[in-house]
Chains A and B, each alone.
Chain A
């Protein structure tokens, strides 16, 4: 089955700096890579996703890059703000129908004002 590794497990940055979270996956059949943000006491919420036919996607201060050959993808948050503090999960699955999603262990991001 699919295995997703995520690092770092914790990350502290100064407000305004950038944050980068990296993930690798094992199953070359995976072609959908979402990122979820989980605030304290809540369920995760999708913030951005990328499919394997695209190498990079950007949404305001958030961007995701994908390297299919190396089987890794990354989340980039620029100009971090205190409200970005949360746990971020990467995931991988195969698109098409309702598929299992394999999540990474999560990264706890702390943005220091």
Chain B
């Protein structure tokens, strides 16, 4: 089955450590996105990539970094510069195929998320 996976589901980090969250998709989608979800703040865009070897900052990119070396992978690194990293992180992709068999370049397919806790 095609889909988007994130690992690990739960992640604990000590203050001052960098940590990398994995996101993989086998949907052959061109674009991938990283969001941060906090209670009462909805989904906020961290970074997005429209094509391999290219990515753009979202609304809250400070303290995060990404790479897009392969079409199917878009890892997110939470660096020690991120002052408040404890959150639920969601990865998404889009590639033109909608759920109902009609083209939809705007529909985002989300992974199950990674909950990061800084100890």
Binding site for B on A (CB under 8 A): 1, 6, 9, 32, 34, 36, 41-46, 49, 89, 93, 95-106
Q: Which of B13-21, B37-45, B72-80 contacts A (4 or more CB under 8 A)?
A: B37-45
A44 contact from B44, B59, B90, Cβ within 8 A: B90
List the A residue with the shortest CB-CB distance to B4: A43
Bound-state CA distance A21–B11 (Å) is 33
Bound-state CA distance A32–B70 (Å) is 29
Bound-state CA distance A45–B41 (Å) is 18
Residues A42 and B106 in contact, CB atoms below 8 Å apart: no
List the A residue with the shortest CB-CB distance to B43: A103
Residues B31 and A105 in contact, CB atoms below 8 Å apart: no
Bound-state CA distance A60–B90 (Å) is 29
B59 / chain A contacts, CB cutoff of 8 Å: 1
Main secondary structure of the interface of A (DSSP, over half): loop
For the complex of A and B, the 5 pairs showing the least CB-CB separation, nearest first, are A43-B110, A98-B31, A105-B42, A103-B43, A98-B50
Q: Say which size band chain B's interface belongs to.
A: 20 to 34
A42 / chain B contacts, CB cutoff of 8 Å: 112-113
Is B84 located at the chain interface by the 8 A CB criterion? no
Residues B106 and A106 in contact, CB atoms below 8 Å apart: no
Residues A43 and B90 in contact, CB atoms below 8 Å apart: yes
List the A residue with the shortest CB-CB distance to B44: A103
Bound-state CA distance A97–B95 (Å) is 9
Bound-state CA distance A48–B33 (Å) is 20
Residues A44 and B42 in contact, CB atoms below 8 Å apart: no
Residues A89 and B112 in contact, CB atoms below 8 Å apart: no
B107 contact from A46, A96, A97, A100, Cβ within 8 A: A46
